[in-house]
Amino acid sequence: MAEIDFGVEGGVSGKLGNFVLYRVGGKTYLRRRPRRREGAATEKQVRQQSKMAGAMVMHRFVKECELREVFAAWSREVGARSGYNLFLSKNMNAFGEEDYVDYGLLTLAGGSLQLSNELAVTDMADRRLGFAWVDNTSGETARGDDRMLAAVITDDEPYRVLMPEERTGRRQDGQGCVVLPEGEWQTAHVYVFFGAAEGGKYSPGVYFRIEKPLMD
């Protein structure tokens, strides 16, 4: 694969004989046209396809909620190509064959904002899950009015990520809560992080595994 510099504009793409010219991430590449794949995929290829398929399905839900903005903002900060690319690169390895998902490996938030110290689950009543943390307000990367946010995946919908609307808590409060979704689920995977009050900046998240029987 050759990388070609066509100057400032460089807007060239298309097919040229047995080669393809295309642009990705502001660069122009030249590569040989793909050949038709023959034979079955190897074990490694199947594993990689499973990872990709799992990540793609979960990203369908990511882009339907506020996590879309989380990844877009994070990708701008780190110079990634897009929120989609960043999501895939951070989470591909959390997926495996036969619908396997390692929820502990999932990364659903990130950015330059600081995470609060000693973030922990305090109590559960009905579907209301309480958290407490030590206020670490210290300036631009940790402001008192930063909102506590949470993304939730339940075991009855293993790829569906959602961000509950019912949630409270600011960094300076030192505590907050989130209302988990209704449903037949037994286990919920909760990812708690902070976001700037005006949006556009987010912190990394912390993962909690919540079992429903504990809530009864």
For residue 50, the minimal CB distance to another protein (Å) is 7
Is the distance from CB of 82 to CB of 75 less than 8 angstroms? Answer: yes
Is the distance from CB of 179 to CB of 127 less than 8 angstroms? Answer: yes
Q: Does 99 bind another protein (CB under 8 A)?
A: yes
The structure tokens listed for 28 are 């122009």
- Strand 14-16 to strand 128-134: parallel, antiparallel, or no bridges (unpaired)? unpaired
**Among residues 123 and 156, whose Cβ is nearest to another protein?**
156
**Among residues 156 and 211, whose Cβ is nearest to another protein?**
156
Q: Does 159 bind another protein (CB under 8 A)?
A: yes
Q: Which span (6-14, 82-90, 156-164, 193-201) binds another protein, by CB under 8 A?
A: 156-164
- What is the phi/psi pair of residue 124, to 5°? -135, 130
Residues 24-63 that bind another protein (CB under 8 A): 50, 53-54, 56-57, 60-61
Q: Does 160 bind another protein (CB under 8 A)?
A: yes
Computed on alpha carbons and rounded to an integer, the radius of gyration of the chain in Å comes to 21
Q: Does 158 bind another protein (CB under 8 A)?
A: yes
For residue 123, the minimal CB distance to another protein (Å) is 29
Q: In b/e form, how buried is each residue of 3-16, taking b as 16+ CB within 10 angstroms?
A: eeeeeeeeeeeeee
Q: Does 65 bind another protein (CB under 8 A)?
A: no
Three-class SS state of 139: strand
Tell me the number of residues near another protein by CB under 8 A: 13
Q: Does 187 bind another protein (CB under 8 A)?
A: no
At position 172, the amino acid (one-letter code) is Q
For residue 156, the minimal CB distance to another protein (Å) is 7
- What is the phi/psi pair of residue 119, to 5°? -70, 125
Could you list the residues that contact another protein (CB under 8 A)?
Answer: 50, 53-54, 56-57, 60-61, 99, 156-160
